[in-house]
Amino acid sequence: QNVAFGAVKADPSLPVEVTSDNLAVNQADGSAEFTGSVLIVQGVMRLAGDRVLVIYKTDADGKRAIERLEATGNVILVSGPDAAEAQRAEYTIDSGTIVMSGNVLLNQSAGTLASQRMVVNLTTGTASMSGRVKTILNPSSGTSENN
Amino acid sequence: MDQYSRMVSYLKVFLPLAALALLSTLFLISPGSDTEAVIPFADREIEERLRGQQVTAPFFSGSTAQGDEIWVTAEMASASADQPVIANALRAEIRMVAGGQITLTSDRGTVHPDQDLARFVGNVEITTTDGMVVETEVLKTQLSKVHAESPGAIRATGDLGDLTAGHMEISSETVGGPVHLLFTNSVKLVYAPQKLER
């Protein structure tokens, strides 16, 4: 089930801004975890969650960069007019894809879709849902969206 | 007395006299050594040193119960009766048993051994194991265990990106557990992903 997501094509190289109440950086393995109403903002995309864990990757020349951000706990993703909720979301920055899992609810002007898993590709502005997709159409919107 | 023994008796007298003469030249003719060597200290410095006890390049090291080692060195530390030890160009290193190392440097600092506390003041810089550099104005560290706290706002840069927070604490939640840097009070991080190689 492919659906358009987000009005504008997001650019993954925009700076990512993360705000939260607190952040713990573990000195032994260098992992970092944001807790307390965490909000990730990049361009028009906003991803909110209770906790966000930062996963690093080490490039060839040994320089560490953020590979992906794992948000857990009533995650809400908003991009342009569309919004999605889930329990977990993994945002891989370089590829600009967000994998949301755990009773995902995507509500758009056309209707709301519910499923177990959704992969949003910010660069192409598309989202593909899988796993028991359920569509609820708002008759008032007039545009009928069939599976 | 034959000629040989007369010569010996003469020598018995003449040789000690010659030795005596040689010895005397050692003291009479040698150049006088100047005794008043000039001490290279200005008077003002001497008074300053006399006013309070002063230690140059003091070195303080201790280890916590879990075995983390703490080194504190400074350029100069001076102590006076009522005030705590004041040191400048302070530098501290904490080597953790669980791996990793934190270095702290600051312009000035005071050490209060009775309250088990050292205060770093004046552009304090903290470098952590993963290369993150945290800058703040004041940092209080405990001397007996790995616990430091910066009451004021901090700025940090590192692999994570540029970070600002209202308060920072370095401590290990579980005893002997890994040391954490806890940033609280409105944390804000800006991470610029490297330009993707097209």
Domains and CATH numbers, chain B: 56-197 (2.60.450.10)
Q: How far apart (Å, rounded) are the C-alpha atoms in residues B159 and A66? A: 8
- Cβ <8 Å between B100 and A12: no
| pLDDT(B84) > 90 | no
Q: Chain A window 71-130: which residues touch B at a Cβ cutoff of 8 Å?
A: 93-94
Is B192 in CB contact (< 8 Å) with chain A?
A: yes
Residue B86 or B19, more confident:
B19
Please check whether residue A122 is in contact with residue A97, taking contact to mean a CB–CB distance below 8 angstroms: yes
Using 50, 70 and 90 to split pLDDT, how confident is the model at B68? confident
List the single best residue of B103, B183, B185 to mutate versus A (max A Cβ within 10 A). B183
Instruction: Report chain A's mean pLDDT, rounded to a whole number.
Output: 81
Residues of B in contact with A65 (CB under 8 A): 159, 193-194
| pLDDT(A23) > 80 | yes
Question: Which pLDDT tens digit goes with each residue over A89-145?
Answer: 998 888 888 899 888 888 877 778 888 888 888 878 788 888 888 887 766 644 445
> Mean pLDDT over residues A42-56, rounded?
88
Phi and psi torsions of B23, nearest 5°: -60, -40
Name the residue facing B191 among A16, A21, A63 (closest C-beta): A16
Residue type, A47: L
Is A19 in CB contact (< 8 Å) with chain B?
A: yes
Residue B43: per-residue pLDDT? 78
Residue B12: per-residue pLDDT? 92
Residue A147: per-residue pLDDT? 45
Residue B134 or A140, more confident:
B134
List the single best residue of A27, A59, A92 to mutate versus B (max B Cβ within 10 A). A27
Distances (CA, A) of A48 to A4, A32, B60: 21, 17, 46
Residue A132: per-residue pLDDT? 80
> Mean pLDDT over residues A37-42, rounded?
90
ipTM, 2 decimals?
Answer: 0.75
By mean pLDDT, which of A25-29, A137-141, B70-74, B119-123 is the weakest?
A137-141
Tell me if the pTM is above 0.80.
Answer: no
Q: Of B86-90, B114-118, B163-167, B188-192, which one has max mean pLDDT?
A: B163-167
Please check whether residue B188 is in contact with residue B163, taking contact to mean a CB–CB distance below 8 angstroms: yes
A22-26 and A45-58 beta bridge pairing: unpaired
Nearest to B128 by CA among B152, B86, B99: B99
Nearest to B180 by CA among B65, B123, B96, B121: B96
Residue A131 or B190, more confident:
B190
- Cβ <8 Å between B165 and A28: no
Tokens of B157: 């840069």
| pLDDT(B195) > 60 | no
Using 50, 70 and 90 to split pLDDT, how confident is the model at B197? very low
Nearest to A85 by CA among A123, A129, A54, A139: A129
Tell me the three-class secondary structure of chain B, residue by residue.
CCHHHHHHHHHHHHHHHHHHHHHHHHHHCCCCCCCCCCCCCCHHHHHHHHHCEEEECCEEEEECCCCCEEEEECCEEEECCCCCEEEEEEEEEEECCCCCEEEEEEEEEEEEHHHCEEEEEEEEEEECCCCCEEEEEEEEEECCCCCEEECCCEEEEECCEEEEECEEEEECCCCCCCCEEEEECCEEEEECCCCCCC
| pLDDT(B82) > 50 | yes
| Sign of the C-alpha dihedral computed for residues A121, A127, A132 and A136 taken in this order | positive
Please check whether residue B70 is in contact with residue B147, taking contact to mean a CB–CB distance below 8 angstroms: no
| Sign of the C-alpha dihedral computed for residues A31, A36, A41 and A44 taken in this order | positive
Please check whether residue A137 is in contact with residue A111, taking contact to mean a CB–CB distance below 8 angstroms: yes
